[in-house]
């Protein structure tokens, strides 16, 4: 059967903007399963930390097993639209494209975290609203990063209930392919896969252009990744990252657990992540050399992130004894404040290496500056919400209120300095098209490899 056409993927059925809430998403898929009981069945695979049911929707189409989970990072809802659309594509043809696969769709694996982001979900998507309503859990509360592991003196053994639900699903269906629907934020599209497969990498790399979206070829999220094709990286396993940190002398305790790819090694599962931007920028795809040295770019980034660390740590140290609410915002702030110091320290190690003695590309200048902007607004914003929670609950001491006032002024200055505040978002249907095309390319490649 032919590979789906682009028209099938980026259909007019996907809205151009706006994301469903947890309840809207659940209602939509429940309604779909009531309308097509012979095609799609609903079940519950677990409960969130706050007791919300985590639903699974299964579409039986064959022996192969594909698991797709959205909401893996609760500030990344593009995948909600992708799951809604994917379910409809699969219902229309259960053995879609001859993949001989049964599809297990988890529309929202972290409902609790998602509800804390819903303030910016309604169209139009604006950077201002996004950062004001942004929430991302502490690493050890992130679904895809709280799998148990033990390696070289590092370890983690406290998976959150959402991760346990995913582990039980994986154990039961032993996926051939798993795709966690992530998205990035700003710039262009990039991908991760756990397979060092040049054919798949080339295919993934070519997808965004077909939907009119740029690749992101600037600074990778993690230094030292294997580049498989333009903007396609091999996802490093946790033990590889630990080896690398120890080799660089960055052996401070690692926050959080192992990742999904680590857990799925036992099943030989292929994993793929498509990182999609809410806002595109041509600089992300521009590999022209600038007159600025790469070392100077990293030096400025390290200094800015160290400053962010100092600001957040200073506030937390000043109010910790007065804070009474164990909110997710507070736990995230307590994790991300030292996290910013770790990122700064890792960049200082790179600055010292001779490989940074070269001109930076436009994409690198852009990407590194954007990391600083986004980390300030994201993590400073979460700390702001932690302090505001005390004020709203009537538990804020004068020092908590003073800290909130000071941080708010600082944060508004950071936001006012954002040169891209008025940028229009990328069309959501194109983003969904990229995510689906990448998913189908990964499954198709797995089918071809199994046949070899």
Task: Report the interface residues with Zn ion, using CB under 5 A.
Answer: 73, 76, 182
The vertex-304 CA angle with 219 and 311, nearest 5°, equals 135
The distance of closest approach from Cβ of residue 76 to Zn ion in the complex, given in angstroms and rounded to an integer, is 5
Q: Smallest gap, in angstroms, from Cβ of residue 95 to Zn ion?
A: 30
- Kindly tell me which of 69 and 383 has the beta carbon lying closer to Zn ion: 69
Q: Is 137 helix (H, G, I), strand (E, B) or coil?
A: coil
- Nearest in space to 244 (alpha carbons), one of 142, 346, 145, 339: 346
Between residues 181 and 437, which has the closer beta carbon with respect to Zn ion? 181
Q: Would you say 273 or 298 has its CB closer to Zn ion?
A: 273
Rounded least distance, CB 192 to Zn ion, Å:
10
Closest CA to 102 of 173, 47, 43: 173
Torsion, Cα 82 88 94 96, to 10 degrees, reads -50
Q: Please report where in the chains the tokens 């990072």 appear, as a residue.
A: 73
**Could you tell me how many helices (H) and strands (E) the chain has, helices first?**
14, 15
Q: Tell me if 124 sits within 8 A of 16, measured CB to CB.
A: no
Closest CB to Zn ion among 96 and 241?
241
Q: Cβ 134 to Zn ion, closest distance in Å?
A: 13
Q: Which is nearer to Zn ion, 39 or 182 (CB)?
A: 182
Beta carbons of 216 and 188 less than 8 angstroms apart: yes
Six-digit token string for 9: 């993927």
Nearest distance from residue 160's CB to Zn ion, in Å?
16
Q: What share of the chain is helix, strand, coil (3-state, %, to 5)?
A: 50, 15, 30
First to last CA, the chain: 18
Residue 258 or 362 having the CB closest to Zn ion: 258
Q: Shortest distance, CB of residue 152 to Zn ion, whole angstroms?
A: 26
């Amino acid at each position: 059967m032919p590979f789906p056409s682009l028209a099938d993927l980026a259909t007019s059925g996907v809205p151009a903007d706006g994301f469903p809430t947890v309840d809207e998403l659940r209602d939509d898929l429940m309604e779909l399963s009531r309308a097509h009981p012979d095609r799609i069945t609903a079940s519950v695979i677990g409960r969130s930390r706050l007791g919300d049911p985590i639903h699974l929707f299964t579409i039986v189409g064959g022996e192969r097993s594909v698991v797709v989970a959205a909401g893996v990072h609760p500030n990344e809802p593009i995948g909600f639209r992708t799951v809604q659309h994917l379910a409809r594509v699969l219902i229309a043809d259960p053995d879609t494209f001859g993949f001989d696969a049964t599809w297990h769709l988890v529309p929202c694996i972290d409902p609790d975290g998602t509800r804390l982001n819903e303030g910016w979900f309604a169209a139009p998507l604006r950077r201002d609203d996004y950062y004001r309503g942004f929430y991302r859990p502490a690493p050890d509360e992130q679904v895809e990063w709280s799998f148990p592991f033990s390696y070289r003196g590092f370890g983690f053994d406290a998976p959150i209930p959402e991760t346990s639900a995913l582990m039980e699903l994986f154990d039961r269906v032993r996926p051939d392919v798993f795709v966690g629907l992530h998205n990035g934020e700003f710039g262009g599209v990039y991908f991760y896969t756990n397979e060092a497969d040049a054919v798949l990498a080339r295919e993934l790399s070519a997808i965004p252009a077909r939907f009119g979206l740029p690749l992101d070829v600037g600074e990778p999220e993690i230094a030292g990744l294997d580049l498989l094709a333009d903007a396609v990286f091999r996802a490093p396993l946790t033990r590889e990252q630990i080896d690398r940190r120890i080799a660089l002398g960055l052996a401070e305790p690692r926050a959080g657990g192992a990742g999904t790819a680590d857990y799925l090694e036992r099943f030989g599962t292929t994993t793929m992540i498509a990182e999609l931007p809410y806002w595109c920028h041509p600089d992300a795809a521009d590999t022209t050399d600038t007159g600025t040295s790469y070392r100077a770019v990293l030096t400025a980034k390290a200094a800015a992130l160290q400053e962010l660390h100092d600001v957040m740590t200073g506030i937390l140290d000043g109010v910790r004894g007065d804070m009474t609410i164990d909110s997710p915002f507070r736990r995230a702030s307590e994790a991300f404040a030292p996290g910013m110091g770790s990122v700064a320290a890792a960049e200082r190690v790179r600055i010292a290496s001779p490989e940074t003695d070269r001109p930076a590309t436009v994409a690198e200048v852009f990407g590194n500056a954007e990391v600083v902007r986004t980390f300030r607004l994201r993590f400073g914003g979460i700390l702001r919400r932690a302090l505001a929670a005390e004020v709203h609950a009537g538990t804020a001491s004068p020092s908590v209120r003073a800290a909130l006032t000071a941080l708010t002024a600082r944060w508004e200055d950071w936001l006012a300095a954002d040169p891209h505040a008025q940028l229009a978002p990328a069309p959501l249907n194109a983003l969904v098209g990229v995510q689906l095309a990448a998913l189908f390319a990964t499954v198709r490649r797995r089918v071809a490899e199994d046949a070899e």
